[in-house]
Structure 1
Amino acid sequence: MLILSIDTATPSAGVALVDEKGLRYEAVANTGYKHSRTLLDMIDVAFRQTDYVLRDVDAIGVTSGPGSFTGLRIGMASAKGLALAAEKPVIGIPTLDAMAFHIAWVPALICPILNARKGEIYGAFYQGGPGPLKRVSDYLALSPPALAETARTYMDQLDLGTISLVGDGVDEYRSQLHDLLGGAMVCPEEPWLPRASSTGHLAFRRLIQGDIDDVFSLNPIYVRQSEAENRLAKGKGAR
């Protein structure tokens, strides 16, 4: 079985092909939010480089959020369009799940974080180490102090001494988070962004279990409202 996976949740766009033997192809374009101009070309190159065509694909995986609202819409619309055109199933993989998958083996509280702007972070908490990766929280949008407080609660509950942070939220809030978490915080020198290959591996696992999404009802996970929705809500409240 072959998965075409798409990631457009952040400034870095990615495309991958994954099957039962593992990763067959992956390309990343960290060129900013130009996904509407680059994504379909990246998919075309992936097929030409591997001699696959769309009809060879068994399902299409796509990062479903949180992340850039516009980026998520581009990825979701592209995945749905390809799925409908080729009559293939679509599988949405939460962005933070795909990021945590990078370091699922680490025996720590794992917390992928994305810069949500406005002084907030998108994040979720996972129990890593031996055994399957387990998400222990909802997908959240919260301030760095709130994230640190929540992290300490889960570390106490799970009896874990360290928290491993990955994502561009680390780059944005590294100093503040270090002040809040101290020696319990472990993170790479470079931020780890979502990878289409991780989305593909997780989508493959769901496909072999028969766990697919409805192409018409699958929607992005935004976690919080967009600016347009906030302005609309304020306008209604002022009437």
Structure 2
Amino acid sequence: MQVSRSNELETIARHTWQDYHSGNKAALSDFYSNVMPFCLRVSSKTCGKYIDEFDEEASITRLALIEAFEKYNPQRGSILFYLAQVVRSRIIDYQRREKRRPIPISVLSQKEYSEIAAIKENQVEEILEDISRQEEINRFRTLLSEFDIDFVDLVDNGPKQARAREKAHAIAWLIAGDQEVISLLLKNKTIPLKLLERKYAVNRKTVDRYRKYIIASVLVAVYDLPTLKAYIEPQRKENRNG
């Protein structure tokens, strides 16, 4: 049922967008009652507090809706996903201007929380998680560019075997956990190999061969990119004697 409602709103949004760009500007006004609960849910999750139609954030959300309809291109994919991106970005911009700290959801009254939770919870959560992952990947791409590394490098030059990946990850965690080494890495944009060898007796060939992959793993650990971090954390071996 939840998926059906999500698809229904997506379909209505696309038809409304088509009408809007065909010259029927009133189409968006007619769409408000259908889409505003979704948009306010995104705003509430972004702010960490209950947002109703009379709050300043609701006004910003309405403007974000217009902006999204003006700028959306079908090649972007889901219109609801794009709409959520725009709403979230504008709310964050507003918070920065106002220097407001989000109110944790846990402090909301039971009534407020129930009202928020009733508005397409799964749909909004999934979209916001997708946005968060996309933002994390974009941030990772920017960090990599400072070291003249891109995703193609990681695919082409990364370790192909599990054992080699484990070794590369282990070296990355050594670097990330050593303030002296990580400071030099971030400053000089290269691995301080001699220092690393002296302190930890790492295998030079492994570092040389997987340099870009190791640097990328270090950046994930240091800048705490949660989605990506799960892929580089050392696997704990089970105690077979226990």
How high is the TM-score relative to the length of structure 2?
A: 0.23
State the structure with more CA Rg.
2
Larger fraction in strand? 1
How high is the TM-score relative to the length of structure 1?
A: 0.23
Higher RCO (C-alpha under 8 Å, 6+ residues apart): 1
